């Protein structure tokens, strides 16, 4: 139950962040649309996020968490503080150097990420300007990833999980200011959005610093030195750049190819934001909680417990991902229309975004399972094997995008990303199995087919519900449209819960009873309460 409780903590915080992120993107779609300013901002925001997810969340976390946990177990709090200080000094110096180089060569970075923008000098120059403003976000978020690794190793998941909420609150406040001031899409509006990103990075870093201080973990900042711990982190981290960031690398490849098509970058961005909701809620929760849990089990020699943990994580992932995948494939148009179609975002943009969303949804289970299987390697301090598989996936993505884009446009790019995800995840699962590090146990063999059946049955009910609510979803006021979409989502959740209970995929009544019993045991009785 503790594993599920930690999944729920991180997943709940991520859900709050994603819902606020949707509010943010709904406002961006309405105020900025899918034009040049929107595309410039997407690239400017994606650039530091790319480095953050590759170097900070991907390579850094996959290498740092097992090593920090090892230092904590072998040398206690004092040794963990010493190791953390060494890593902080090395990380901060590397970030300062990277930021300085990026600021000078920003035009080249933007050209690499969006070469198609060079055909429109005004859009290209705006993307360079906004990228320079947003790039310091990388430093803040890399330090946030470092502090999150410390907190998560101590099983303090809440503060790190809620940090992304701060970003969306700041951006919503900026967008509200844009709305009140009546700014039209242009350079000033783009600069305001970029400044909001930078401010949000500082706010998230402040939140994590306070959380670490309240935990009683003191950090020092020694002179940067190439210690044994730093060298080990470097050796593990370099392969982890690809291993931990395959999805982001594939999205960037798609951005490069899509930049040659008008509006394609924005269409892919909006579709990505929708399918990232289940991916973020489930994938991030699993990635954050599973790695330190597996590392502890393996260091104590409890290989059987590690295998059970992987099986339960896989079940948890698919129990949430399969119904989300079916929903995105069955009713994508109402989702995109209700969320984004207003103001500068018209029916043409809705149709283009819907098609990309369906293509991304095909790969959603693979993207989430990647978060389940990768910690099975990282916890064993093996980042090289996932790196090679990520490289294979990236080649599949590039080849697929180049082959499909001439015929299917931006939809072909999304399909190539999904195909690459399945190739990468399949290789990870097969090698874990061949090495004896993962076996699907009897519980998973019984429940997974039933979860798939429950998802399909839910999809049929969801399709019928969408037909019944179509007049409200497509032709009513904004409030009624959102209410109808909310009703459709609630109906889908209720149907899935009903079908998993009926099919026996999950004993929801049993889980709720055990959760209530566990809570009752944790809550002490008041002094004057009657005793048995």
Tokens of 160: 């790190």
Alpha helices per DSSP H over 281-363: 285-299, 303-330, 332-340, 347-362
Q: What are the tokens at 364? A: 């959603």
CA triplet 85, 88, 90: central angle to 5 degrees?
110
Separation in Å, CA 339 to CA 159, 270, 485: 29, 10, 9
Let me know: does 269 contact 275? Beta carbons within 8 Å: no
Q: Distance between CA 354 and CA 34 in Å, rounded? A: 14
Distance (Å) of CA 474 to CA 303, 340, 485: 53, 12, 10
Q: What are phi and psi of 100, to 5 degrees?
A: -65, -45
Closest CA to 133 of 200, 231, 205: 200
pLDDT reported for residue 458: 92
> Which structure tokens are listed for 212?
């670490």
CB contact at 8 A, 431 and 296 = no
**Angle formed by the axes of helices 285-299 and 303-330, to 10°?**
170
CA-nearest of 326, 336, 399 to 365 is 326
d(CA 55, CA 181): 37
pLDDT of 532 reads: 30
Burial of residue 304, with CB atoms counted within 10 A of its CB: 0-12 exposed, 13-18 middle, 19 or more buried: exposed
Please tell me whether residue 440 adopts helix, strand or coil conformation. coil
Give pLDDT, residue 283. 67
pLDDT at position 190: 83
Residues sharing a CB contact under 8 Å with residue 191, sequence separation 6 or more, in sequence order: 129, 130, 133
User: Is 273:25 a contact under the CB 8 Å cutoff?
Assistant: yes
> CA 167, CA 172: separation in Å to the nearest integer?
9
Task: Delimit the domains of the chain by residue range.
Answer: 2-440, 446-516
Torsion of CA 86, 91, 93, 96, to 10 degrees: -160
DSSP state of 435: T
SS3 category, 301: coil
- Dmax over CA atoms of the chain, in Å, equals 79
Contact 338, 481 (CB under 8 A): yes
Output the DSSP codes for 108-122. Answer: HHHHHH-GGGGGSHH
- Residue whose entry in the numeric block shows the structure tokens 């844009």: 178
Three-state SS for 195-206 is HHHHHHHHHHHH
Question: 257: which 2 tokens?
Answer: 């190819």
What integer pLDDT is reported at residue 484 of this predicted model? 86
Nearest-CA neighbor of 426 among 392, 400, 454?
Answer: 392
**Which residue has tokens 């497509």?**
474
> Taking the chain (532 residues) in consecutive chunks of 10 residues, what is each chunk's mean pLDDT?
60 73 77 76 76 58 73 79 85 86 87 79 87 87 83 76 83 86 78 88 89 83 79 70 58 70 76 77 68 72 80 84 90 85 77 90 89 83 81 87 85 88 92 88 87 92 88 76 87 89 70 52 38 32
d(CA 273, CA 280): 10
Going by C-alpha positions, the residue among 203, 436, 183, 449 that lies closest to residue 315 is 449
Q: Say what the pLDDT of residue 391 is.
A: 82
What pLDDT is recorded for position 43? 81
Which residues, 6 or more positions from 424, have their beta carbon under 8 angstroms from its beta carbon?
246, 366, 370, 389, 390, 392, 393
Q: What is the pLDDT of residue 9?
A: 65
Task: Return the closest-CA partner of residue 260 out of 123, 353, 355.
Answer: 123
CB 342 within 8 A of CB 479: no
Distance CA 46, CA 254 (A): 12
pLDDT for 529 equals 34
430 Cβ neighbours under 8 A, 6+ residues apart: none
Closest-CA residue to 275 (of 348, 329, 216)? 329
pTM confidence score: 0.67
């Amino acid at each position: 139950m503790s594993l599920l409780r930690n999944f729920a903590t991180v997943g709940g915080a991520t859900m709050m962040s994603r819902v606020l992120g949707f509010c943010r993107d709904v406002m961006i779609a309405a105020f900025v649309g899918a034009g040049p300013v929107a595309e410039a901002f997407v690239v400017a925001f994606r650039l530091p996020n790319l480095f953050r997810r590759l170097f900070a969340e991907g390579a850094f976390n996959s290498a740092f968490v097992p090593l920090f946990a090892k230092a904590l177990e072998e040398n206690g709090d004092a040794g963990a503080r010493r190791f953390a200080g060494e890593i902080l000094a090395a990380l901060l110096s590397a970030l300062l150097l990277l930021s300085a180089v990026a600021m000078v060569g920003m035009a080249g970075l933007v050209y690499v990420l969006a070469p198609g923008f060079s055909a429109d000098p005004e859009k290209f120059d705006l993307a360079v300007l906004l990228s320079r403003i947003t790039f310091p976000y990388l430093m803040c978020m890399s330090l946030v990833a470092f502090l999150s690794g410390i907190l998560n190793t101590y099983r303090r998941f809440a503060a790190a999980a809620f940090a992304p909420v701060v970003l969306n609150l700041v951006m919503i406040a900026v967008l509200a200011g844009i709305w009140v001031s009546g700014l039209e899409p242009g350079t000033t509006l783009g600069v305001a959005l970029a400044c909001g990103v930078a401010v949000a990075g500082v706010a998230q870093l402040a939140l994590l610093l306070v959380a670490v201080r309240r935990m009683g973990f003191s950090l020092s900042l020694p002179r940067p030195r190439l210690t044994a711990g730093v060298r080990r982190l470097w050796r593990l981290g370099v392969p982890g750049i690809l291993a931990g960031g395959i999805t982001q690398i594939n999205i960037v490849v798609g951005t490069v190819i899509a930049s040659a098509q008008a509006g394609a970058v924005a269409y892919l961005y909006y579709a990505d934001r929708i399918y990232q909701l289940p991916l973020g809620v489930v994938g991030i929760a699993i990635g954050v909680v599973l790695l330190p849990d597996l590392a502890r089990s393996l260091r104590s020699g409890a290989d059987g417990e590690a295998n059970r943990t992987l099986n339960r994580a896989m079940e948890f992932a698919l129990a949430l991902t399969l119904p989300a995948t079916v929903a995105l494939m069955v009713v994508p148009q109402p989702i995109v229309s209700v969320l984004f179609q207003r103001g500068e975002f018209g029916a043409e943009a809705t149709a283009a975004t819907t098609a990309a969303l369906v293509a991304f949804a095909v790969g959603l289970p693979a993207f989430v399972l990647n978060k389940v299987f990768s910690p099975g390697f990282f916890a064993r301090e093996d980042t090289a094997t996932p790196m090679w598989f990520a490289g294979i996936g990236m080649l599949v993505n590039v080849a697929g995008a180049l082959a499909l884009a001439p015929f299917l446009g931006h939809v072909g790019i999304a399909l190539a990303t999904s195909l690459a995800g399945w190739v990468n995840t399949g290789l990870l699962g097969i090698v874990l199995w061949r090495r004896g590090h993962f076996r699907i146990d009897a519980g998973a063999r019984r429940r997974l087919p039933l979860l798939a059946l429950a998802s399909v049955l839910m999809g049929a009910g969801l399709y019928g519900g969408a037909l019944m609510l179509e007049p409200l979803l497509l032709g009513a006021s904004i409030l009624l449209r959102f209410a109808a979409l909310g009703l459709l989502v609630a109906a889908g959740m209720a149907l899935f819960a009903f079908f998993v209970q009926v099919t026996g995929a999950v004993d929801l009544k049993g889980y709720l009873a055990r959760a209530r019993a566990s809570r009752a045991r944790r809550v002490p009785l008041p002094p004057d309460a009657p005793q048995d």
